[in-house]
Structure 1
Amino acid sequence: MVLSGIFLTSHITMAIAAGEIGVIVADVQGDFTTWKKGSLAVNGTDKTFVQKVQKATETLSREGYPIFATQDWHPGDHISFYTNHPGGKAFEVIKIEGRTQVLWPPHCVQGTKNAGILVDNNLFLAVVQKGRDTRYDSYSGFMDDGGQKTEIDQILKRNGIQKIVVYGIATDYCVKATAIDAADAGYKVLVIEGLCKGVAPETSAKALKEMKAKGITIWKELDLQKIKTF
């Protein structure tokens, strides 16, 4: 179920007061963390990191910024799982109908404990689930690899959001894809590097360069004073 119908009047009022800035917390889920011994754990995603993300999200919420989240939510027979490809190996890169596909260990399977978001769900105005279509991977919170859009753009526009702060897991995949698609959709985007973790240093550095090339602002850490005018 996609929680796209949770709209609180108080949060909408605060969004306007906060300068039409919204926050997207990307894929901070058990399977992506070392803390929860996830099947696709990203280095550095221990309890301390998740608590840092939790604290920052709580602070932004108290300051009046509406918080949204993306959640990987795959069926068991998802195309990205190496176990669904005879002879396939984890992290192998293959071609499927002309598309490049990384084969991942099964992760964030619908209804499993480690598919859950580790940040307090009560902070979110809406949670948008992605990767639900067996046929397509979906790193971005805005659309999958087949071009099918999620509800997030409609939700943001409905709440008057024009600027977006993005952070979460992983810098070089879901954070990058979500931030770039947001920029392409006309939003002004800020990524907080210190609230992200990447799969690999090389691809994370490349992702930051790609985001900067798209006009996305990158900060090392969250700055509550500067964020009001980014």
Structure 2
Amino acid sequence: MDMSKIPSPDARAVTGVIVVDLQGDFTTLKQGSLAVDGTDSTYVKTVEQVTLRLRAKGFTLFATQDWHPRDHVSFFTSHPGKHPFETVEIDGLSQTLWPPHCVADSENAGILMDPSFFSMVVKKGTCKDYDSYSGFQDQGGTSTELERLLRAGKITRLIVYGLATDYCVKATALDAAKRGFEVFVVKDLCRGVSVDTTRAALEEMAQHGINIITMADL
């Protein structure tokens, strides 16, 4: 690990933090419909503590939030005869079918931190016709407001962590790197859906120039 690459307090003015999808439906704490292993109260509290420490150092905080309509394309219930975790092709795109989750205005769609901690909570997956793993755009190519907010704040470096390593964290980090941001993923502040896909996600991110760090590096 090249420790010189890790953002220092002197870099706080150009460094943003993105907490990815820390929502009830993705945690065992809230018995979510898509709960990821290892997301109990200890995990959520740790994420909150580290995030507040970074805020106290002057870093700008953002969060992403899955915010789906009830008939979202990613829900198996929107496809009669289909079952959770099946894969289908829709308009040339591969789509994993998930249990309904993070339905707009439902309790478990809520961020498990005080939203006032963040400069902005960026909602994604709001269009019923496209899934959206990345905080930057959905699979139909429609952008969220995240990049505009980062550019407006003259942010060039990003610290990224949250849920899940092998899906929304990976997609958000890769999209950030494609847009020219220097990206640091804090792997022990993330949790993944499976061991194999998490390992592959970390390797893929590293291959694309993303810095994989730990809490101890912050």
8 Å contact from structure 1 (residues 192, 222) kept in 2:
no
User: What SS does structure 1 have at the residue aligned with 2:62?
Assistant: strand
Counterparts of 1:203 and 1:126 in 2: how far apart (Å)?
29
Using the aligned pairs only, state the percent identity: 54
Match of 2:89 in 1: 95
Pairing of 1:1-230 with structure 2 (within 5 A): 18-224=12-218
Task: Please report how far the alpha carbon of residue 217 of structure 1 lies from its aligned counterpart in structure 2 after TM superposition.
Answer: 0.1
Task: Please report how far the alpha carbon of residue 141 of structure 1 lies from its aligned counterpart in structure 2 after TM superposition.
Answer: 0.1
Counterparts of 2:55 and 2:47 in 1: how far apart (Å)?
12
User: What SS does structure 1 have at the residue aligned with 2:54?
Assistant: helix
8 Å contact from structure 2 (residues 13, 58) kept in 1:
no
8 Å contact from structure 2 (residues 69, 128) kept in 1:
yes
Match of 2:3 in 1: none
8 Å contact from structure 1 (residues 212, 218) kept in 2:
yes
Measured at CA, do residues 16 and 112 of structure 1 come closer, stay the same or move farther in structure 2, by a change above 3 Å? Answer: farther
For structure 1, the 5+ residue unaligned runs are 1-14, 225-230
User: What SS does structure 2 have at the residue aligned with 1:122?
Assistant: helix
Task: Please report how far the alpha carbon of residue 180 of structure 1 lies from its aligned counterpart in structure 2 after TM superposition.
Answer: 0.2
Equivalent position amino acid for 1:40 in 2:
L
Counterparts of 2:180 and 2:216 in 1: how far apart (Å)?
22
Task: Please report how far the alpha carbon of residue 97 of structure 1 lies from its aligned counterpart in structure 2 after TM superposition.
Answer: 1.2
**Alignment RMSD, CA only?**
1.2
Counterparts of 1:128 and 1:161 in 2: how far apart (Å)?
16
Equivalent position amino acid for 1:147 in 2:
G
Paired residues in the alignment total 210
Q: Deviations over 1:97-141 (max 9, x none)?
A: 111000000000000000000022121000100000000000000
8 Å contact from structure 1 (residues 53, 119) kept in 2:
no
Counterparts of 1:222 and 1:57 in 2: how far apart (Å)?
14
User: What SS does structure 2 have at the residue aligned with 1:173?
Assistant: helix
- The alignment's TM-score, normalised by the length of structure 1, stands at 0.89
Task: Please report how far the alpha carbon of residue 54 of structure 1 lies from its aligned counterpart in structure 2 after TM superposition.
Answer: 0.3
Task: Please report how far the alpha carbon of residue 17 of structure 1 lies from its aligned counterpart in structure 2 after TM superposition.
Answer: 6.3
User: What SS does structure 1 have at the residue aligned with 2:174?
Assistant: helix
Q: Deviations over 1:54-112 (max 9, x none)?
A: 00000000000010000000000000000110011001111111110000000000000
Counterparts of 2:216 and 2:13 in 1: how far apart (Å)?
17
8 Å contact from structure 1 (residues 21, 162) kept in 2:
yes
Q: Deviations over 1:17-62 (max 9, x none)?
A: 6140000000000000000000110010001000000000000000
- The alignment's TM-score, normalised by the length of structure 2, stands at 0.94
Task: Please report how far the alpha carbon of residue 178 of structure 1 lies from its aligned counterpart in structure 2 after TM superposition.
Answer: 0.1
